[in-house]
Amino acid sequence: MAVYDRATLLSQVFGDPAFLADCSEDQGEAADRLDEYANDLCLTFLELRQLLKHFPKRAQWKSGKIRRMYDEMVQAIVVNQTRQAPALRSDVDSNGAGRPQGVEHAGSPQVAIATGPSELDRLRDLVKTLQKENRDLRKRLTKLKDMLEPAFV
């Protein structure tokens, strides 16, 4: 079977809802199961799928030079990321937190950024408090296990 046909069929299987359901709806597990069909090409299924996305036409696969195609795909991805890098440069907003240029603030950030020494000290104190609580809970758990153990012996 031609590599193009194999890549096409594997991509169809990967997109099949029944196959995905068989993999517990886990795309990672589904991709891992399809890896065995690309091993002889020294590629993972996801790499083969990416090659198919980058070279979608059968004629592009005629040369049979998978390594050359792979290198070309990787180079195109690197060039694309390099072109996008200036758009992702951060400018400093009024709070001192970085935000990509051209991206509007769409709500509160998911990660808090420590803005100064006082914030950092507060976070360190919080970590110490949580670590102490964790130690206390472990001690209580050990005591409870010791109390329950004689009942089951």
What is the average per-residue pLDDT within 77-91?
A: 70
What is the average per-residue pLDDT within 80-94?
A: 62
Residue 7's Cβ-count burial label (10 Å; 0-12, 13-18, 19+) is: buried
My answer on whether 51 and 120 are in the same domain is no
pLDDT surpasses 50 at 144: yes
pLDDT surpasses 80 at 93: no
- Structural domain includes residue 56: yes
My answer on whether 82 and 13 are in the same domain is yes
- Structural domain includes residue 101: no
What is the average per-residue pLDDT within 33-49?
A: 90
- Both structure tokens of 12: 């169809």
* Boundary (domain end) residue, out of 88, 105, 123: 88
Q: Percentage of residues in the chain with pLDDT exceeding 70? A: 76
Which of 87, 5, 89, 3 has the alpha carbon at shortest distance from 43? 3
My answer on whether 15 and 80 are in the same domain is yes
- Cα dihedral 65, 69, 71, 73, rounded to 10, equals -170
- Structural domain includes residue 54: yes
Average pLDDT value for the chain: 79
My answer on whether 14 and 78 are in the same domain is yes
My answer on whether 84 and 11 are in the same domain is yes
DSSP states of 59-98: GGGTT--HHHHHHHHHHHHHHHHHHHGGGG-EEE-TTS-E
Q: How many domains does the chain have?
A: 2
Query: H helices of the chain, where?
Result: 3-15, 17-22, 27-34, 45-54, 66-84, 117-152
My answer on whether 76 and 120 are in the same domain is no
Confidence band of 88 (pLDDT split at 50, 70, 90)? low
pLDDT on residue 115: 52
**Domain limits for position 34:** 3-88
- Both structure tokens of 89: 């440069």
- Structural domain includes residue 97: no
* Boundary (domain end) residue, out of 48, 70, 88: 88
- Structural domain includes residue 93: no
Verdict on whether the full-model pTM lies above 0.85:
no
Reported as a single tens digit per residue, the pLDDT across 2-21 is 889 999 999 999 999 898 88
User: Max Cα separation, the chain?
Assistant: 75
My answer on whether 74 and 10 are in the same domain is yes
Calculate the alpha carbon distances from 114 to 19, 35, 96, 100, 120 in Å. Answer: 45, 42, 10, 18, 6
